[in-house]
Amino acid sequence: MVKPDWNIFKAKFSQNTQSNFEWFCYLLFCQEHNRSFGIFRYKNQSAIETDPIIKENEVIGWQAKFYETTLSVHKNDLIGTITKIKRNYPNLTKVIFYTNQEWGQGKSNNDPQAKIAVEQKAKECNLEIEWRTESYFESPFVTINNSNIAQHFFSLDNSIINLLKEKQAHTESILLEIQTNIDFDTQIIEIDRRKVLKNIKEELAQKQILIVSGTGGVGKTAVIKKLYSEIKEDVPFYIFKANEFNINNINELFSEFTLKEFVEAHKEENNKIIVIDSAERLLELENTEPFREFLSIIVGNRWKILFTTRNNYLEDLNYQFIEIHNIIPLNLEIRNLTQEEINDLSQKYDFSLPVDSKLLELIKNPFYLNEYLRFYKDEENLEYLNFKKNYGIKLLKNLNQQESNVFCKLLLREQMKVNFL
């Protein structure tokens, strides 16, 4: 339970009190009317905060008013709002006013003159008013049923909303540097992954756990980035790197909160997704108990889980899930480009394909296609080994001494193969 304290609210949101009050009321309105995906609105929407909703035979709009003085002082503002509502939304039948203030009691009867005047104006406009005043925010609906929301607004400590924002920012940070296209000359080449995305969506609709595999550089995380951008507004979607589970207790992953609190914050959501990227790293965990607990709780709370991994680790991961976690995942492979696809890209973006069959096969992988186009020159017919050398020089700049020595040995081995052949 969270006790409302408007002084804490004002201290915490001193720079933007009204906008945060609107957000608070929006969350409560969505909770009350089961709108977990939110409600459409325009920037600086007139008269009401979002588009109206239809419930049974009513067309309902809402307005949030944060005031420093009693409601009677704001009679003209409230009447003006009702006038705008009727003008802009003639079909509206009910308006809900959220406010942090109460009506003062009238002298001769319970209703003050200002409240009577506002409600009379609403009656003339065929509008029903429902008041959500200060006492509403003290109700069990707010303080108990939605205590996780109330805590964010009435406590100076971090709330579960802070945690969700942090995890959302973490997800976007992981995806930020993932390329979904290739820059070539003045053109942007985008590989068509619509079929792959369609398959992932269809499989997630039927299955709870999906492993997306492919060779290194094929674009597994790039596909996840596209999926995220398409559904992030409608579905809770979080990404964790597999090595983040190299911890002693699963709650270390959630700062001041716990896994159960994270799960509880999403209990009303029917669709929710977690991605474990580079899942082969799970095979390296010294202590697997935190991940086992995570998987058990997440699966038990109906989350969809999507793992990405390289092909050569797929068999081991499947074994882990089946034998250790008692889970049978569905496998979906993202393949390199076909000959037809790379021919189409070559024609569309006007670059020549290499004659060297080994290099041609290599650049069917989007990562190496990107590198090939970095070195591309019209008159030059680049060969496999020269490409590897050029790419190696670029790579060496980012390696430490030990890694550099290993890479040089690999290049020498390639050279010896070519000389022998």
Going from the N-terminus, what domains does the chain have, and what CATH number goes with each? Answer: 6-157 (3.40.1350), 164-333 (3.40.50.300), 339-420 (no CATH)
Question: In this predicted model, what pLDDT tens digit does every residue of 11-60 receive, in sequence order?
Answer: 999 999 999 999 999 999 999 998 888 898 988 899 999 999 999 999 99
What is the rounded distance in angstroms from the CA atom of residue 284 to the CA atom of residue 158?
33
DSSP codes of every residue in 206-235 = H-SEEEEEE-TTS-HHHHHHHHHHHHTTTS
- pLDDT confidence tier of residue 420, bands split at 50, 70 and 90: very low
Q: How far apart are the first and last CA of the chain?
A: 76
Give the closest residue to 364 by CA, choosing from 345, 336, 391: 336
Q: Is 57 helix (H, G, I), strand (E, B) or coil?
A: coil
Predicted TM-score (pTM) of this structure? 0.74
**Token duo for residue 49:** 């905060």
Instruction: Provide the H-helix boundaries in 191-312.
Output: 194-206, 220-231, 259-264, 289-300
Question: In this predicted model, what pLDDT tens digit does every residue of 151-208 receive, in sequence order?
Answer: 999 998 888 899 999 999 999 999 998 999 999 988 999 999 999 999 999 999 999 9
Which residue carries 């597994």 as its tokens? Answer: 220
- Using CA atoms, how far residue 8 sits from 3, 14, 16, 240, in Å, is 11, 10, 13, 34
**Token duo for residue 260:** 């159960």
What is the rounded distance in angstroms from the CA atom of residue 403 to the CA atom of residue 414?
17
70, 108 Cβ separation under 8 angstroms: no
Mean pLDDT of the chain: 89
Task: Give the Cβ contact number of residue 179 at 10 Å.
Answer: 13
